[in-house]
Amino acid sequence: MKISQQEMTINGNLKLGGNQPVLFSGPCAVESPEICLEIGTKIKTLSEKHGFGYVFKASFDKANRTSTESFRGIGFEKSLQVLEMVGQTLDVPLVTDIHESYQVEAVAEVVDVLQIPAFLCRQTDLLIAAGKTGKAIKIKRGQFMAPEDMQYAVDKIRSTGNNNVALTERGFSLGYHNLVVDMRALPIMRQFAPVVFDVTHSVQQPGANKGSSGGQRQMAPYLARAAAAAGVDGFFIETHPNPSVALSDGPNMVPLDKMDEFLAMLKDAWTIGNNYKNYSLQ
């Protein structure tokens, strides 16, 4: 199996797929300027401490919530203003999800990485619009997609002349309210582009919490270590100072006060995986 050596460059200098793991981390949603700045400040410090490149993450709109009663966001323009403030204050690149083609241009003016949600990884118009911005594009594998079929999503981005693309693994659906991570997906997708492991949503239980999603954060260390040792280029982790009151995906989040030891653990496992990432029996 030939593993891709291609890198994704973020904001001109941060490289995903090089000799340093990249961390995409922040709250699930833009809840407030204060929460975003608190989390971003802490994670930037911890990323530097443990040798991770850092990209601040927060969604400006949670468009795929289980219920219409669920929190979606504080508004399109206000959320983008918060993201821009965090990026400028902390001097870090930004990533957020896009859901529809009409959002792409405005969002691309603010953030450095456009993330394609898992459910939308086959949406050709969205992928093409994202690719045309020239920004780095991070595509989550759909829970319904075979990992080898993600090459076509990558091809759609590259058809625009934009080769700055990566894939993200978050598990596949297996029965109701459950996701399962097949570690074979990681080397399969790394044939096409660098790969990020989504620690948060790999332990999500979609719709399992009576109108909202549940999760098993206690399983996050096991899956994260396994993915790191299997060989990935980065990690996606949502965090919050108090996940029990987070407005989205609280049950899946790594508590902010646990992120120091969590990142230390990940870096140790990643170093092992990186040392053997080109080992093959072929």
In three-state secondary structure terms, 95 is: strand
Please check the confidence at residue 194 and state whether its pLDDT lies above 90. Answer: yes
Of the CA atoms within 13 Å of residue 52, those in its CB half-sphere come to 31
pLDDT, the chain, mean = 91
Q: Please give the average per-residue pLDDT across 169-196, as a whole number.
A: 90
- Quick one: pLDDT at residue 39? 98
Residues sharing a CB contact under 8 Å with residue 231, sequence separation 6 or more, in sequence order: 3, 186, 187, 190, 273, 274, 276, 277
Q: What percent of the chain has pLDDT over 70?
A: 90
Tens digits of per-residue pLDDT, 47-85? Answer: 999 999 999 999 998 666 565 666 676 888 999 999 999
- Quick one: pLDDT at residue 202? 86
**279: number of Cβ within 10 Å:** 8
Angle between helices 76-90 and 33-50 (to 10 degrees): 40
Q: Which class in CATH covers the domain with range 8-12+19-269?
A: alpha beta
Map out the domains of the chain as residue ranges.
8-12+19-269
- Quick one: pLDDT at residue 156? 98
